Structure 1
Amino acid sequence: MTRLVGLSQRVVVDPRTNERRDALDQRWMPFLAACGMTGVPLPNHTETALQVAQACGLAALILTGGNDLAALAGDAPERDETERALLDWAAERLPVLGVCRGAQHLAHLAGGQLERVGGHAGTRHRVEPLGREVNSFHDWAITQAPPGADVLARAADGSIEAFRLGNRTAILWHPEREAQPHPDDIALLKGL
């Protein structure tokens, strides 16, 4: 039986109509299927997102990529608010995975340090000690882990690429964007 996983969504503004729209990379669903899971997109409306999350019996919550944090001059405060509420709700209930922007949000909320970085967007690089190459699409690096976090991986420049803090795991790469799901990423999701 497949497990249901809640997915936060980026905010995209349609320039033609000036509508603020929720959006999710279509590659999430096949990646989750490879992990034995089904994604449930959660809207950037706090009350509705919490109602959906509670009604679905989610097995985990994933904070996906896209949009900078409002605290870092991003333009989607409704997303930050919804994700904070979902994290509060999930605190003792569900494991959480933060991917790219989601990892940045987890670090920020738990007291980690973020700094704007060049050369990380649209590239691939190795992470150690995992000894693997990952994709990279971020402009903000985690330069200091939140207090009490276990650092799981770093880039060559020393920035933190993955950490774990309690039932929350953060990775700065996008497992859904790989042409073939990486076995380590599948194991990570199944291990949540």
Structure 2
Amino acid sequence: MDAPVVGLTTYRQQAMWGVWDARADLLPTEYAVALEAAGGVPLLLPPVSLPVAAERLVSRIDALVVSGGADVDPGRYGAQPHPRTTGWQPDRDDWELALLTAAAQAQLPVLGICRGMQLMAVHAGGTLDQHTPDLVGHETHSPGGDTYGAVAVDTEAGSRLAGLVGARLEVSCHHHQSVATHPGFTAVARAADGTVEAIEASGERFCLAVQWHPEIRVEIGLMAGLVEAARTHARRSAR
């Protein structure tokens, strides 16, 4: 109970390590390190196509992190691809949408990070702006390559997020898309240019998503909130 198990979704793509150049299931180490620092036990969840896999896994973990990664397939929210929308992965979209459905049914705590926030909005019936620079006129949210943008974010007073991270913070961003509509969620953080940087669902369940990468700066407040929610879920499930 003191160290709840938190599942993290992963990439599935070509990768190189040692003498190998092969398809791999992977995730940047910072995710696991940040969760461990907050007192959780990270468990990687690669895409699985078995029909019951999502329900089985959700019943065995105490919280879920939907990680960053490739663009969401625009067809999932009824849009045609923007010229800058590329590389979507149907198997990962299928898997993570199934996990979100199973998590909602089980009232499992969920944190979405970057792509994870976008997918949570789409899962709820929302839509995305496919290339944020078209709207805001700058590339600060994703400067290019492997560089993170430094973005000042203001949180909504009284929100769960504000209770975890405070009223204002600087975050590390790497996204060229953003959430346009988010039914069932409230926007609880924005950048100065108006970009929605966090959404959360009302109610007791921890169901929160941020457009930035808290694992890069090891934001203990956000991860600690998830881990505490995971502990509570584990205690209730053990009854």
Scaled by the length of structure 2, the TM-score of the pair is 0.71
Measured in 2, the distance between the counterparts of 1:54 and 1:135 equals 29
Measured in 2, the distance between the counterparts of 1:112 and 1:152 equals 16
Instruction: Tell me, yes or no, if structure 1 residue 92 matches structure 2 residue 97.
Output: no
Measured in 2, the distance between the counterparts of 1:65 and 1:158 equals 21
Greater relative CO (CA pairs within 8 A, separation 6+) = 2
2:195 is aligned, of 148, 159, 174, to 159
Give, as a single letter, the amino acid of the residue that structure 2 aligns with 1:83: E
Please say which structure displays the higher CA radius of gyration. 2
Measured in 2, the distance between the counterparts of 1:58 and 1:74 equals 29
The answer for the alignment partner of 1:101 in structure 2 is 115
The answer for the alignment partner of 1:74 in structure 2 is 87
Alpha-carbon contact 2:100-2:123 (below 8 Å) kept: no
- Secondary structure class of the residue paired with 1:88: helix
- Secondary structure class of the residue paired with 2:5: strand
2:42 is aligned, of 31, 39, 42, to 39
Give, as a single letter, the amino acid of the residue that structure 2 aligns with 1:79: R
- Spell out the pairing of 1:126-137 with structure 2 (5 A cutoff): 126-129=152-155, 130-137=167-174
- Secondary structure class of the residue paired with 1:177: coil
Per-residue CA distance 1:59-89 (angstroms, 9 max, x = gap): 1111000111122543311000011111121
Percent identity (aligned): 34
The answer for the alignment partner of 2:214 in structure 1 is 175
Give, as a single letter, the amino acid of the residue that structure 2 aligns with 1:136: C
Instruction: Tell me, yes or no, if structure 1 residue 4 matches structure 2 residue 5.
Output: yes
Per-residue CA distance 1:133-152 (angstroms, 9 max, x = gap): 000011101133x1231211
Distance verdict in 2 for CA 1:154–1:191, change over 3 Å: farther
Distance verdict in 2 for CA 1:105–1:54, change over 3 Å: closer
Per-residue CA distance 1:143-166 (angstroms, 9 max, x = gap): 33x123121100111111001125
Give ranges in structure 1 of 5+ residues lacking alignment.
Answer: none
Distance verdict in 2 for CA 1:49–1:135, change over 3 Å: farther
Measured in 2, the distance between the counterparts of 1:184 and 1:9 equals 23
The Cα shift of 1:49 comes to: 4.8
Give, as a single letter, the amino acid of the residue that structure 2 aligns with 1:135: S
The Cα shift of 1:54 comes to: 4.7
The answer for the alignment partner of 2:176 in structure 1 is 139
Measured in 2, the distance between the counterparts of 1:40 and 1:49 equals 15
Alpha-carbon contact 2:100-2:120 (below 8 Å) kept: no
Scaled by the length of structure 1, the TM-score of the pair is 0.86
Aligned residues: 188
Structure richer in strand, relative to its length: 1
The Cα shift of 1:18 comes to: 7.8
The answer for the alignment partner of 1:117 in structure 2 is 132
Give, as a single letter, the amino acid of the residue that structure 2 aligns with 1:4: V
Give ranges in structure 2 of 5+ residues lacking alignment.
Answer: 75-84, 134-138, 143-147, 156-166, 230-239
Alpha-carbon contact 1:125-1:133 (below 8 Å) kept: yes
